[in-house]
Amino acid sequence: MRIGIHRFSLKSVSLVIKVNSMMEEMTEISYSRTRSGELYEEAKQYFPGGVDSPVRAFKSVIGPPVFMKKGDGARVWDEDDNEYIDFCCSWGPLIHGHNPRSVAEAIHRTVDLGTSFGTPTIYGLELGKLLNANIPFLEKLRFVSSGTEAVMSAIRLARGYTSRSKILKFDGCYHGHVDSLLVNAGSGLVTFGVSSSAGIPESFAAETLVVPLDDETALKVAFDVYGHEIAAVIIEPVPANNGLLLQRPEFLTYLRKICTDFGVLLIFDEVISGFRIGFTGAAGHYGIEPDLVTYGKIIGGGMPVGAYGGRREIMGQVSPDGPVYQAGTLSGNPVAMAAGKAALSMCLNPEFYVNLEKLTADFCEDINAFADEYGYDFSMPHIGSIFWPCFSKQTIRNASQIDASSMELFKKFHFFLLQRGIYFGPSGYEVGFVSAAHDASILEEASEKIKMALDHIYQNEEL
Ligand SMILES: *Cc1c(COP(=O)(O)O)cnc(C)c1O
């Protein structure tokens, strides 16, 4: 019925409102999250903010956080038995959706033989070989247990390898909660970082240069002054933790060149883009080889895994081969390695990324066309199977272009959709993920509800 209205472009407000209220009867909006609310109240007594990771506390959206209890394919269920189409996908790892059979089977097979030995296992070797065989610049790697740990280790390695201490990062890129990278830009084109968290000495932040994305001039200025003191530049080549800030390929190519010219290592933080923008991530997509790469999220098939790796010569500096110390009690955990191998094996199907990208593009472009037709200042930029619900039509390439006040609109969007069975990450700065379990009919269902949400927001209707 909603489609009908749009097809005939009947824009009379009263008619739209009338039909919307009919739609409301047809669309379930009676979601109650009583149980989640109670559990959250209890959890607040035991955990800071009631959570294990801050964004989960729903501080930027309406209502208590949702306690999920089950996932299957593209859908999740909460403790009140509400069902949602999930676009958060555990923040990215679940590229096959929830509980894909072959990953679940690999986990069960492995866990039945013991959960951890603290020795090398065949499972880590198999995952390592699979990665090495399919990612040309990944000559050697080390497994760790999270994306943060991978980044922290890669930074230490870059400093050890180059005997330099400064790091350059970009404003708007997130690299986990690594001390030297939890820094904001100061005021100015090229600045040393200002700690963005209490507990990080300014002397740490002072080792980190921060420059804007999408800005060759700022990079050049930074390199002209500090180029020979910089150990590494770290970038999310597809910045997807502060909106989706798609970079011009020329900018990334310039970055590669200037790093090479100054003997600075280029670290691609592909924790979110790795195995998402194709198997070889953003590096493969743009045809640019980093010196070091970090992975997380998808690499563990839903289990906690991270990895860093790169050229043989650089990785040769890692202990016990070299002087850069890095270790982990549960690193290369057999259950997690088996899960990662099962998940990544499915990604190697030649059609896998083509299909996923097409589904995502069709989904986003349909919504973009709708927003255009109605003049709503909204768009969904996308790459691979990542998209960003953005309350602007501008092409946004750096963090300062995001209008913070648009997050009020995201709040309404999030709540409207949560009430109708669509789960987005609880912040307007977060991207959405399409998994292989989100088939065309599921995306169609989501798309209709997203269009209704936009109608409500832009026609200032009650939520
Ligand atoms: C998620 C993410 C991290 C941090 O990974 P954790 O596993 O949460 O520690 C680092 N870098 C990027 C690009 C990420 O998306």
**Mean pLDDT across 259-269:** 98
Q: pLDDT exceeding 70 applies to what percent of the chain?
A: 93
271 Cβ inside 6 Å of ligand 1: yes
Question: H helices of 316-431, where?
Answer: 334-347, 352-374, 407-418
CATH of domain 101-347: 3.40.640.10
429: confidence class by pLDDT, cuts 50, 70, 90:
very high
Atom in ligand 1 nearest the alpha carbon of residue 306 = 7
**From the CB of 269, is ligand 1 less than 6 Å away?**
yes
| 269 catalytic residue (yes or no) | yes
User: Whose CA is closest to atom 5 on ligand 1?
Assistant: 147
Q: Which of ligand 1's atoms lies nearest the C-alpha of 239?
A: 13
CATH number attached to the domain at 31-98+351-458: 3.90.1150.10
Catalytic: which of 215, 269, 291, 455? 269
Query: Per-residue pLDDT averaged across 255-280, rounded?
Result: 98
From CA 144, how far away is CA 139, in angstroms rounded? 17
Contact of 272 with 240, CB cutoff 8 Å: yes
Residue 23 confidence (pLDDT) above 70: no
Q: For the segment 73-89, what is each residue's pLDDT rounded down to a tens digit?
A: 999 999 999 999 999 99
Per-residue pLDDT, 29: 62
Contacts for 354 with CB less than 8 Å, ≥ 6 apart? none
Query: What angle in degrees, to the nearest 10, is found between the helix axes of 334-347 and 352-374?
Result: 70
Q: Ligand 1 pocket, 430 CB below 6 A?
A: no
Residue 236 CA: which ligand 1 atom is closest?
13
Q: How far apart are CA 179 and CA 197, in angstroms?
A: 9
Q: Which one of 40, 84, 161, 174 is the catalytic residue?
A: 174
272 lines ligand 1 (CB under 6 A): yes
Q: How confident is the model at residue 12 (pLDDT cuts 50, 70, 90)?
A: very low
- Residue 153 Cβ < 6 Å to ligand 1: no
The one catalytic residue in 171, 215, 295, 297 is 297
Geometric angle at alpha carbon 432, from 368 and 152, rounded to 5°: 135
Say how far apart CA 98 and CA 68 lie, in whole Å.
Answer: 12
Active site (annotated) includes residue 166 = no
Confidence of residue 189 (pLDDT cuts 50, 70, 90): confident
Query: Is 174's C-beta closer than 6 angstroms to any atom of ligand 1?
Result: yes
Name the residue ranges covered by the structural domains of the chain.
Answer: 31-98+351-458, 101-347
- The verdict on whether 80 is a catalytic residue reads no
Q: What are phi and psi of 73, to 5 degrees?
A: 65, -125
User: Binning pLDDT at 50, 70 and 90, where does residue 188 land?
Assistant: confident
The reported pLDDT for the residue numbered 248 is 98
Q: Is the peptide bond before 320 cis (omega within 30 degrees of 0)?
A: yes
**Averaged pLDDT of the chain:** 93
117-126, 194-203, 211-220, 442-451: segment of lowest average pLDDT: 194-203
In the chain, % helix, strand, coil (3-state, to 5) comes to: 45, 15, 40
